[in-house]
Structure 1
Amino acid sequence: MNSLTKKATWGAALSALILIGGPAVAGPEALYQENCASCHGENRLGGTGPALIPETLKRMRGPKVANVITEGRAATQMPAFAEDMTADQITELAAWLKTPLDEIPAWGEEQINASRELNPDYVQVNAPVWSSDPMNITLAVETGDHHVSVMDGDTFEVLDRFPTPFAVHGGPKFDPKGRFVFIMSRDGWVQKYDIYALKEVGRVRAGLNSRNIAMSADGKWLAVANYLPNTLTILSTEDLTVATVREVKGKDGTPSRVSAVYQAPPRESFVLALKDVPEIWEIFYGKNPPQFGFAHDWRTEGLAHTDIPFPLRKITTPDYLDDFFFDQTYEYVMGASRSGEGGQVIDLVIGQKVADLDLPGMPHLGSGITWKYGDTTVMATPHLKDGTISVIDMKTWETVKRIETMGPGFFMRSHENSRYVWADVFFGPNRDKMHVIDKETLEIVKTLAPVPGATVAHVEFTKDGKYALVSVWEDDGEVLVYDAETLEIVKRLPMRKPSGKYNVWNKITFSEGTSH
């Protein structure tokens, strides 16, 4: 639901209302179209927000849906509507959202391949059409008008600005050479763009409502996590055709949405976080997958596990885990519990929990980063519900320190050549602040407020770590280029609500200061 336009459009809703004795009364469908459709889609199948149908709301009972409409949702862009709808209207709308659509489109391999669109004007080039350092290219996603700017990381010149599918969601993924980038939208479109040629190659709709994408370490496969339908789609990165569509059901047959998909490069696998069953899935794409614990759809075909395309392993977990972070070896995965009161460490080798994590306040592990700290490595994560950053020892899984901040945060970044960690305060009244933390002392050394009243968020570094790029997350926004040592602004780049920035080198080398 759109917090920016809901009040402006409320007057227009009068044409859809039936006036009875003076007060305006709207049915749930009219209320939805006026207040929800701009984010969740006219057909309820999702847009910038998730699909609002029984298949995606199955774990939210009617009263809980009504509470979210009334109060909004912490740590998201879902606003409160208590001042715009009566309690009865909210109750009716919540009930209506739980009613099935007349028809949900089938979306399997046939439909995905049929949606594929290749750019007839694309011609592959042998070398970049520009003279910049290919490893220091940075992409800036501009959600204000659904574009991406391709920037030279040395001069910050914009080499190209190209349109993306509506509502890009999750970080873009680069191939191992840093030439091609893949971008996903919330409504399931995956776009392939050639950075060397500065041209879109093509796009395909891999799902109806999707969460994120992950690239295989060899660059051959792209996995797409879907809320709707309950599937994981694996695409060929070469031509965007479907390699497989995996229906997601737990060991007991319960269907599940896929919260996220991650790559585990040393294991040659994709790891899935599931929304509706307490399991972790690992899907292997390498030539020699491990020989244990597989569950697959070809069991009756008499195939050896090495002959199974994308063999699957299902690991039962003590709790639902929505958010992941991996250690450097990718043998251990840290998962945040849905209650937001802690987390677990799962050993992927033995397929069991080996430790609990003391992480109250709903940690955002997906934005966690690591760095060397004395004789160990620590991981730090912001919290979505309180003003805290937790620092965890990756050897003992103990909390080293909780750093108090000016409010809940969403993103953290650093660089191996920088002595600082940057952490935003994305949620709450202090969203115009950015904390800079010393890696050795674990103390906040400076709090930046570059644009009073504007949301500042998401830091990315240049290849060498010399500059830090900060988003002013407003429609009439900008990217601020900071000297990462002096913490002074050296350049301002106007942009339309820039969200994430992604440096080729930092991403393909898995820089310790970048979430993976």
Structure 2
Amino acid sequence: MKRLCHALAPLMLMAATPALAADADATAGLYQTHCASCHGEARLGGVGPALLPGNLSRLKPAAAVEVITHSRAASQMPAFDDVLDAEQIKSLAEWIYRPPDTEPRFGEAEILASHTVMHPDGSLPDKPRFDADPLNLFIVVETGDHHASVLDGDTFERIHRFETRYALHGGPKYTPDGRYVFFGSRDGWITKFDLYNLEVVAEVRAGINMRNIAVSADGRYVMAANYLPHSLVLFDAHNLDMMKTYPVKNAAGESSRVSAVYAAPPRGSFIAALKDIKEVWEIPWPLPTESVVSTGHMQTPLAPSRDPALESFKVRRIGVPDYLDDFFFDPGYEHVIGASRGGQGGMVVNLDSGEKVADLPLEGMPHLGSGITWEHEGRRVMALPHLGRAEVSIIDMQSWELIKTLETDGPGFFMRSHANSPYAWVDVFFGPHRDRVHVIDKQSLEIVKTLTPEPGKTAAHVEFDRDGKKLLLSLWEDDGAVIVYDGDTLEELERIPMSKPSGKYNVWNKTRYEEGTSH
């Protein structure tokens, strides 16, 4: 029997559709007959993704109808047009956007039951199966058919391509030696992949709707941030054994979705952004004996000012004046720059004192998670695009003053540079000019070139190689490509066909916290 498998992954935020005329019980019966074996009897997912409103936030209802009716390319999703009539399909598509009568449960028992270890830590050879520089590899996430490619960062040859979980989110995270990479999916799955042996070595499901994961600077711990349930979950990175779950509540018992979790190497801690309560959480991990971590443009002592009384894995609650669900950090992780997606600006909070030290005029829904920094006239500046305005804001990180607003051809999503590059790149992800990308001179603070790699096709997300000499840009389409550019001349060098390539993540930049890449 045909089953509704794999294809209903999230794509765009939307409101619930009006109820259709079909009887809810009959529709629930259709779901159990045709969908439950892949997506779970309680819609929590299984072979296919979870079918709950939060997990479908990126899929428009009309697209859901189309997928159920005609299938989806490069997936195991079959067409149902010869099994169900049009009204039944519309009823199913509407029904999966309704909240279930009982809130789904996903606790420690469910996490433990999901855990699988394919290759225990240390059981595979400790030498790469390829000749490429393991610290200059790129992971390219291909969302069109849910795969990832491993590219040689010197030759840009594809070393390997493998299937991933659906709707990866938040970017893969590496261990410090670059050998292992961890992926997180919207459906809550954490996958540990051995880049030396090109094998999945362990998996576990941390929640139903997960935002992202973070890996400690020593590579020993992984933490997951969940929207559903409202929790943080801590894992041992070796085999992804669960260590602890943290229900996210304030002193009054009000719970919150977790917008994201970050590793703060100089502090030796995880820092979590909470969407529904006015707190920031810091959770320290045990410090290693040698406590220095490279952050690309500087060697930073690990947790130089940490209070010795601060217990490992114990939550430190930092009260903040407003909801902060998007973060950026200064290079030393002394301050968090935060904003609420529904707010009218940003603020700077000292992570040691918990005090707000500045307000920032960022009213255009800044995408702080994509911000970058560089030295400009002897002072460090941060620059970030806006999701709601056609501009890039540039801020002095000493005075916290806005020093420049660059007008762009539309709202942007990603911004990237490198310590060895004179340029910063920003896309125009939203609006009619999504096929353009701007190149900004980091000293003049002016746009010096606008590229249109393929008219009508979305151009987005730059990542440099380890030396900052070449970079990759995505044509974010099902029949897309990764384009290689010369970082100095801005000339296109080659194109590598890929299926809707989204993020590209260089091992060196991500493990050295290289200046100009997101952390």
Give the TM-score range, shorter chain: 0.7 to 0.9
Partners in 1 of 2:514 and 2:325 — Cα distance? 24
- 1:245-394 equivalences in 2 (<5 Å): 245-287=245-287, 308-394=311-397
Q: Which moved more, 1:178-187 or 1:98-107?
A: 98-107
Equivalent residues of 1:50, 1:209 under 8 A apart: no
Following superposition, the deviation at residue 346 of structure 1 comes to: 0.5
Q: CA deviation at 1:279?
A: 0.7
| Alpha carbons 1:194, 1:201 under 8 Å: kept | yes
Contact 1:392–1:398 at 8 Å: present in 2 too?
yes
Conservation of the 8 A alpha-carbon contact between 2:51 and 2:96: no
Aligned with 1:321: secondary structure? coil
| Percent of aligned positions that are identical | 52
Distance in 1 between the 2:439 and 2:431 partners?
18
In 2, the alpha carbon distance for the partners of 1:273 and 1:172 equals 18
Deviation sequence 1:254-301 (CA, Å, 0-9, x none):
011100001111111111000110110111113498787xxxxxxxxx
**CA-CA distance at 1:165 after TM superposition:** 1.1
State the 1:171 CA deviation: 0.6
- Distance in 1 of aligned mates of 2:486 and 2:247: 47
Amino acid at match of 2:503: G
Counterpart-to-counterpart distance in 1, 2:10 and 2:189: 25
Matched-pair contact (CA < 8 Å) for 1:2–1:78: yes
- Judging changes above 3 Å, is the alpha-carbon distance between structure 1 residues 451 and 96 closer, same or farther for their aligned structure 2 residues? closer
Which residue in the other structure is 2:232 paired with?
Answer: 232
For residues 111 and 4 of structure 1, the distance between their equivalents in structure 2, rounded to whole angstroms, comes to: 26
Listed one character per residue, the Cα deviations across residues 432-466 of structure 1 (whole Å, up to 9, x for unaligned) are: 10111110111111111111111110000011111
Change (3 A) 1:431 1:77: farther
Q: Deviations over 1:74-113 (max 9, x none)?
A: xx9565979x9xxxxx9xx9999675434613322x3212
- Could you report, residue by residue, the CA deviation over 1:348-373 in whole angstroms, capped at 9, with x for unpaired residues? 11011111011111000000000110
Unpaired stretches in structure 1, ≥5 consecutive residues: 11-15, 18-24, 57-68, 70-75, 85-89, 293-303
State how far apart, in whole Å, the 2-side matches of 1:251 and 1:235 are: 25
| Residues 1:444 and 2:442 are matched in the alignment | no
Pair 3,385 (structure 1): closer, same or farther in 2 beyond 3 Å: same
Question: Offset of 1:145 from its aligned partner?
Answer: 1.1
2:151 equivalent to 1:151: yes
Counterparts of residues 192-203 of structure 1 (less than 5 Å): 192-203=192-203
1:187-221 per-position Cα deviation (integer Å, ceiling 9, x unaligned): 01100111111111121111111000111111100
In the alignment, the residues of structure 2 paired with residue 48 and residue 448 of structure 1 have an alpha-carbon distance, to the nearest angstrom, of 37
Partner of 1:165: 165
Query: In the TM superposition, what whole-angstrom CA distance separates every residue of 1:449-497 from its partner, at most 9, and x where no partner exists?
Result: 1111111100000111111100111111100001111111111000111
Secondary structure, aligned partner of 1:111: helix
Inter-partner Cα distance in structure 1 for 2:490 and 2:101: 52
Tell me how many residue pairs correspond in the alignment. 455
One-letter identity of the residue aligned with 2:471: A
Match of 1:174 in 2: 174
Report what 1:515 is aligned to: 518
Matched, 1:183 2:183: yes
Query: Counterpart of 1:52?
Result: 53
Whether 1:116 and 2:119 are equivalent positions in the alignment is no
Whether the 8 Å CA contact 1:273–1:280 is kept in 2: the answer is yes
Query: Does the 8 Å contact 2:50/2:187 carry over to 1?
Result: no
TM-score when scaled to structure 1? 0.81
Equivalent residues of 2:345, 2:361 under 8 A apart: yes
TM-score normalised by structure 2 residue count: 0.81
In structure 2, what is the Cα distance between the partners aligned to 1:4 and 1:206?
Answer: 21
Return the alpha-carbon distance in structure 2 between the equivalents of residues 126 and 392 of structure 1. Answer: 44
- Bigger CA drift: 450-459 or 337-346? 337-346
- Deviation at 1:500? 0.2
The answer on whether the counterparts of 2:149 and 2:161 sit within 8 Å (CA) in structure 1 is: yes
Helix, strand or coil at the partner of 1:366 = helix
TM-superposed deviation, 1:124: 1.1
Provide the C-alpha distance between the structure 2 equivalents of 1:377 and 1:357, rounded to a whole number of angstroms: 16
Aligned to 1:301: none
Asked if residue 454 in structure 1 is aligned to residue 457 in structure 2, the reply is: yes
On the 8 A contact 1:388/1:407 being kept in 2, the answer is yes
SS at match of 2:325: strand
2:157 maps to a residue whose letter is E
Task: Supply the RMSD in Å over aligned alpha carbons.
Answer: 3.3
Give the conservation status (yes or no) of the 8 Å contact 2:9–2:167.
no
Could you say which residue in structure 2 is the equivalent of 1:481?
484
From 472, 475, 478, the equivalent of 1:472 is 475
**Structure 2 letter corresponding to 1:453:** G
Amino acid at match of 2:189: W
| 1:2-41 equivalent positions in 2, closer than 5 A | 25-26=21-22
Q: Which amino acid aligns with 1:329?
A: G
Amino acid at match of 2:261: V
1 CA distance for matches of 2:127 and 2:98?
A: 53
Task: Identify the match of residue 434 of structure 1 among 418, 433, 437.
Answer: 437
**CA distance change for structure 1 residues 27 and 321 in 2, over 3 Å: closer, same or farther?**
farther
Alpha-carbon shift at residue 321 of structure 1 (Å)? 0.5
Alpha-carbon distance between aligned partners in 2 of 1:96 and 1:28, rounded to the nearest angstrom? 11
Q: 1:30 to 1:316 in 2, by over 3 A?
A: farther
Tell me if structure 2 keeps the 8 A contact 1:232–1:245: yes
Distance in 2 of aligned mates of 1:185 and 1:416: 30
